[in-house]
Amino acid sequence: MKKRMHIFYSGDVQGVGFRFTVERMAREFCLTGWVKNLSDGRVEMVCEGDEISVTNFIKRLNNRMAQNIADAQIDFLEYKGEFKEFAIKFY
């Protein structure tokens, strides 16, 4: 089964390589979507893929970046299949 997750991370998540870590790990798990910094200091991410890969990716990311993450607001959404790859948005 395919899943889509929309996540807002807060804490010390900007200026620490967070987006680049997310991008590399998402590609390792063959996920698609995007990640970007927000002007309020949070990081927003949308990722899609098979349910096991998405779940394992989030667990691994949360463990890897635990010292930077203060909170994560996670929404599980219906898979849309709208992305071809995983990328960092720079705007």
How many C-beta atoms lie closer than 10 Å to residue 65's C-beta? 21
User: Could you write out the DSSP letters of every residue in 56-78?
Assistant: HHHHHHHHHTTTTEEEEEEEEE-
Which element (helix H / strand E) includes 39? none
Annotated catalytic residue within 4, 27, 37, 56: 37
CB 14 within 8 A of CB 41: yes
CA 81 – CA 57 distance, rounded (Å): 18
Whether 68 is catalytic is: no
Annotated catalytic residue within 4, 19, 42, 68: 19
Whether 37 is catalytic is: yes
Catalytically active residues, by annotation: 19, 37
